[in-house]
A = this chain, B = another copy of it.
Amino acid sequence: MLKYQQIAAEIEKYIEDHALQQRDKLPVLEALMAQFDVSKSTITKSLDLLERKGVVYQVRGSGIFVRRHKRKGYISLLSNQGFKKDLENSAVTSKVLELDVRKPTEEAAYNLNIGLDTDVYYVKRIRYINGKALCVEESYFTKSIVPYLNREIAEESIFTYIKEGLGLKIGFSDLYLKVGKLTEEEAKHLGLNSGDPKLYAESIFHLTNGEPFDYSQIAYNYEDAQFFLQSNHI
């Protein structure tokens, strides 16, 4: 973690510890520089990062203000951490239905930018929040990048393993969302009825060098899946 990222995390903690609300004003730049004992350029980078994350907004000539805390139970669409990180206060568990090495589907090969004869790890899981089924997830990991996976890892967080176990740097992601109707099989896994609404997400995760390594297709339980997104003036 770079210095400005660390300071950003500390400012975020300061906001939480002081239970600051939307539109509450943060101390001025000079005060923040003194409080965290860093240069102006570091504090500016920290604040820019927090602004991009939707934690603060900066009003020219007026100051830095807090953005409202997200509603409880909503999953951030912008997190690159996998949703386990968003739902820290909930018990997230996974049941692994399938895990093997195979050839990708055409769709997976296309999205992972690999040939149809390239090995991938295929993982199919049901993910639960506090014991309730949140989603059915099918993931394809390029095996040349993620050379090993097992059920124990897949029952926990695959992303934590990829970052901490394999030392890979996760970069950007593409997310596509649609609404549809649950198939019979999905409904069975989620404890719902076939034809019930579903949120269908496809996501492609890339390393910082731009290589895609994970293509996932996720069907969410419509009763529990709630998402939020805080965006900035772009």
Contacts and interface: CB of A to CB of B under 8 A. Distances in A.
B80 A231 contact: yes
A95 interface: no
A170 to B, nearest CB: 7
Given A172-B57, A208-B59, A210-B65, A228 B177 contact: yes
A36 interface: no
Interface string A81-123: 0000000000000000000000000000000010000000000
Contact of A180 (B176, B197, B233, B234): B197
Contacts of A132: none
A80 B173 CA distance: 20
A46 to B, nearest CB: 13
B176 A57 contact: no
A198 interface: yes
Nearest to A228: B176
A229 interface: yes
A39 to B, nearest CB: 17
A201 B168 CA distance: 35
27 contacts: A22-B210, A52-B52, A52-B232, A57-B208, A57-B210, A59-B208, A62-B209, A67-B174, A71-B176, A77-B77, A77-B177, A78-B234, A79-B234, A169-B233, A172-B232, A173-B230, A174-B230, A175-B228, A175-B229, A175-B230, A176-B227, A177-B226, A177-B229, A178-B222, A180-B197, A197-B197, A197-B222
Contacts of A227: 176-178
Nearest to A220: B179
A177 B209 CA distance: 31
A74 interface: yes
Contact of A178 (B171, B175, B226, B234): B226
A222 B179 contact: yes
Interface in A159-189: 169-181
Nearest to A212: B22
Nearest to A176: B228
